[in-house]
């Protein structure tokens, strides 16, 4: 009788140890998956930070150049459509004005 009780206890303890080992393995796997996910998020955030830093550098360069005469002239010509005195502007009617406008008109 004592042998049967001892064997039952041994089987129960082996099952318990097996369940604990499986549980530990699952915890390690979940931690590994979480670590990979967090690493991917970190890399994505770092890439976004790098892009934003490049944009900041470009804007700082524009701010530094904004006092120059060339920058003021470029803005006046490109954005405001201004010309120098006695300057003649030729418009090519055969040239496409803006290909994006045609796409937008066709969409409507």
Contact at 8 Å (CB) between 47 and 41?
no
- pLDDT for 108 equals 43
Residue identified by tokens 């406008």 is: 101
- pLDDT for 10 equals 77
d(CA 56, CA 100): 28
- pLDDT for 99 equals 55
Instruction: Tell me the HSE value of 54 on the side-chain side, using a 13 A CA sphere.
Output: 5
Name the H helices within the chain.
Answer: 2-65, 69-78, 99-107
- pLDDT for 104 equals 47
Tens of pLDDT, residue by residue, the chain (108 residues): 566 666 777 788 889 999 999 999 999 999 999 999 999 999 999 999 999 999 999 999 888 888 888 888 888 888 887 888 888 777 777 776 655 555 444 444
**Chain centroid to CA 28: how far?**
29
- pLDDT for 84 equals 82
d(CA 100, CA 25): 57
């Amino acid at each position: 009788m004592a042998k049967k009780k001892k064997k039952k206890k041994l089987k129960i303890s082996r099952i318990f140890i097996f369940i604990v080992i499986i549980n530990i393995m699952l915890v390690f796997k979940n931690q590994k998956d979480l670590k990979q996910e967090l690493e991917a998020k970190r890399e994505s955030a770092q890439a976004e930070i790098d892009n934003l830093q490049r944009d900041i550098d470009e804007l700082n360069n524009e701010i530094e150049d904004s006092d120059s005469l060339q920058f003021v002239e470029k803005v006046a010509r490109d954005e405001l459509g201004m010309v120098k005195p006695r300057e003649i502007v030729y418009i090519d009617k055969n040239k496409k004005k803006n290909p994006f406008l045609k796409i937008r008109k066709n969409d409507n």
